[in-house]
Chains A and B, each alone.
Chain A
Amino acid sequence: MKLFVSGRSAWVSIAITLAGALLFALLPAFLSPYGVRVGQLFVLAAGLAVAWTVLGGFSGYWSFGNAAFVGTGAFVAALIELALPGWSPAGAFTVALLAAMLLNGLLALVIAWPILRLRGIYFAIAMLGVSQVCYELVSNIDALRGALGVNLLDIVPKDVRPERFYYWALLLAATAIILIAICVRHSKLGYGLLAIREDEDTARMLGVPTAPYKISAFVISAMLTAMMGVIYAHNLGYITANSVFRNEFNLNVIVYSLLGGMGTIIGPIVGAGVMTYVTQVLLGDLLDIHMFITGLLLAILVLAAPNGLYGIYDAYRLRLKRQKREAGR
């Protein structure tokens, strides 16, 4: 069976991703510890945004509730580690990570049946509801310790600085997510999802198995988001329901994609980079009006560049092409 529908461009994207990841892996050598922290935030944001894109960007089903998977992933991992007291940190972490991804995949599979039948705004809000329900349950059921908080295992090796370790861990996860997203995008599944985004009824009429495709993308997106959530939770070291079921996780991923370019893989990465830089570095000292400026940026973004930075680039490329064609005549 052929892996990719459009083989060459897939391999090019994969090569670029690997090269980029390698470059980013070398960065901590040149950055201050604070710089590495900002780097962590960027890599986390990019990973979450690309994981969201697998469903939201490709198929046009915008989830407003991906924090559900971040939080559920984090708590499943934390509780499993609690349940394995005698294990070595590395072993317990591996089990916890795999279990968290698996359980989130299952969760997505179960809720996919009812809520993926909803479209557009209704799907978005239903997902917001799902994330709220998960948050409420985790924080109100004592056994899940959402209100009390849970400590996670310290998995940092002795001779590595913790901020560097988590930077690399998040980078590794984000790279894996991007590679998987590229594979999805160039496979038959990816083309099916794009067809669903353009016109779901027509796609179905033409023989795209829309329901299985949507569910697959949803499950993949949920598992990848959970993976990021587990690593992020370990980076925090101690989590409560409030610290992992955050509304930012729900909405920022969409903002990144919008800023960079909806439906592309490079878009959310660029968007995450720009937003992280602006909010953490440029506005890092203005905590009082942080929210105000974020809101303002959002508004300007939607009004000025509805198709994102990639849209601007695309328009520019098209214009160049046209000019070249006209010059050649």
Chain B
Amino acid sequence: MRLLEYQGKELFAKAGIPVPSGRVAATVAEAEQIMRDNPAPSVVKAQVLIGGRGKAGGIKSASNADDVREPAQAILGMRIANAQNPAGEIAKRVWIEQRLDIAKEMYLSITVDRASKRPIIIASSMGGMDIEEVAAMNPGAIAKYPINPAGGYWPFIGRRVAKEASIPPEVTSQFVSILGKLYALFFDAGAMLLEINPLAITKDGRLVASDAKVEIDDNALFRHPEFEAWKSAAEDDELKARAVKAGLGENNYVGLSGDVGIIGNGAGLVMATLDAVTASGGKPANFLDVGGGAKADLMRDAVAIVTANPRVKSVFINIFGGITRGDEVAKGLVAALDGGNWSKDRLVIRLTGTNEREGREVLGKNGITAVETMNEGARRAVAIAKP
């Protein structure tokens, strides 16, 4: 689960990590009130998870209740998109924070390193830009330190990282202290990523987290009821919410931008199905994994959700059943078609594995013929979606 900037900064503040003072607004009136309470040079920032908000005009200045109106109006409700995510995201809130007088921008993060199976500290004196670009241009400018969870964080680690990352000596002790708090927060919050970019040195020599990017391990959310409220604030996708309501996991539905709806059993199989559709010249509308052993009800709901997407022109259901039973899948599909207004001619199903024969019988009785292979199914579904 990704947190919005204001949520991340709230978390940092509670953990004792210095952040600029700021408040969040969901309306222009709230923005005006914030500036009235504290007129000062400020930055008005779109609260979205998508990158590139600056370029899209989602970051503006203000200094009082009068001149905050226009930026707040412009940004609230703005749809911010980028190349990877053309559908974009709507900014439902702005974060209005005190403008910092920044002398230097650095980088600090803690994340999970899969290769070493450790939490890892990543730091650089080069911040304020894409860390991947820094890594490409100047790998020596990045210090990395995997931490053994048994020992945890000790100040000597911070001092070593500061040296290796060329952190200016006059802020090293602040750096070591912030890193300790960041590490403690990493474990307390069940985080996958805590990123401060830029970690700013202000003109008066203070270290402040100018931005906060926080990713919480979805699998840890059950231990963090305090994040429940933030979940709905971040959630944009109505169909995903329906999927969760139908009993699917948080990550079993992913909305994409195409027009071929996809349903399968097992994440790897569904990914391969997306690939097959793309390889056939089509564009997947979504990823939906019904998991193992899906019953007719779940299948019915899955089809209803995918076909509720107005962009969807055809649907491909790819089932290779181990504990998932073909007859259950078929029954669910038939129920979905009966209950909705989706034509069976715009639906392709591949049904292999457990109770395949029984499943095909149910389909046959309803005028549906299953295809034999995944590739054939992908081709058919793509052909149906094309005008």
Q: Are A and B bound to each other?
A: no
Please give the residue numbers on chain A whose beta carbons come within 8 Å of chain B beta carbons, in ascending order: none
